[in-house]
Amino acid sequence: MSQIPAAGLLTPAPTRIMGVLNVTPDSFSDGGRWLDHAAAVEHGRRMMAEGADLVDVGGESTRPGSVRPSEQEELDRVIPVVENLVGHGIPVSIDTMRATVAAAAVGAGAALVNDVSGGLADDAMPSTVAGLGVPFVAMHWRGLLADPQEEPHYEDVVGEVRDELAARVEALVEEGIARELVVLDPGFGFSKDAGHNWVLLRGLAAITGLGLPVLVGTSRKRFLGRLPLHTAAPAEPRTDGEPTAPDERDAATAATSLLAAQAGAWAVRVHDIPSTRDALAVHRLTEAAR
């Protein structure tokens, strides 16, 4: 099937919206809702109608404690959905850490490979993507599904994430991926606690300053579930009570999408399209006002 030209997908433009489509039974936010292929395709089409620019299809949950599906199970989950969405003219990215799944999805029409391990979980991923010639999202990654009890440590989270991403780019280029096809993801919520996430969000310009497209994925993450409940409250996350439910974090996600756009992000990866669409429209209209 035809693909979106890589150059067109990454051409500088207003911050794009990547819609999240989890074809899994156990994702933290919407596990099981779109496991049925027909429901998944309908949801993908709905996200595009609401304003998404592309749909990110994933068949493996990366929440702490999840069990990896077999390669065949992941293929069975995602390939029919990719084929169907592409058949409807919808730009699709594939969210996977497996080279075989990436190759099959691109063969089915996916235009981009989104790997939360940055090509570290599967040694064959970099060479496979290099041969496919599609954009590759490399997320900042310090290991797969780290022990939730283990405390992540950084002396300078912004500087370390920036430097580790820059080093990863060089490694990917050495393995054959064209530099202009690499997209960076700072990895919010991966080996980072809430404090790290807030500092990294404030310092996003250091990541976009590397000169490559940046994808920001904060949508519905736990650190957005402990916001102060009143404007008079201290400007620090709540420590009392339970965090809000994932689907109650869309307004906060939209705010982070606006911050990402201000920092020059190429795209934001979100579950709820309308709230982020409106936040990005506010940003564009404000920037255009004279």
Given a contact cutoff of 8 angstroms between Cβ atoms, the answer to whether 119 and 99 are in contact is: no
Q: Is 189 helix (H, G, I), strand (E, B) or coil?
A: coil
The catalytic residue among 98, 192, 221, 249 is: 221
Please determine, for residue 1, whether its predicted confidence score (pLDDT) is greater than 50: no
149: helix, strand or coil: coil
φ, ψ of residue 55 in degrees (nearest 5): -115, 130
pLDDT, tens digit, for every residue of 181-232? 999 999 999 999 999 999 999 999 999 999 999 999 999 999 999 999 888 8
Could you tell me where the DSSP H helices lie in 31-146?
Answer: 37-50, 71-87, 99-107, 125-132
Q: Is 45 a catalytic residue?
A: no
Distance in Å from the first CA to the final CA of the chain: 44
The reported pLDDT for the residue numbered 33 is 62
| Cβ–Cβ < 8 Å for 144, 121 | yes
221 an active-site residue? Answer: yes
How do residues 27-36 score in pLDDT, each as one tens digit?
555 555 656 8
Considering the candidates 16, 77, 226, 269, report the single residue annotated as catalytic. Answer: 269
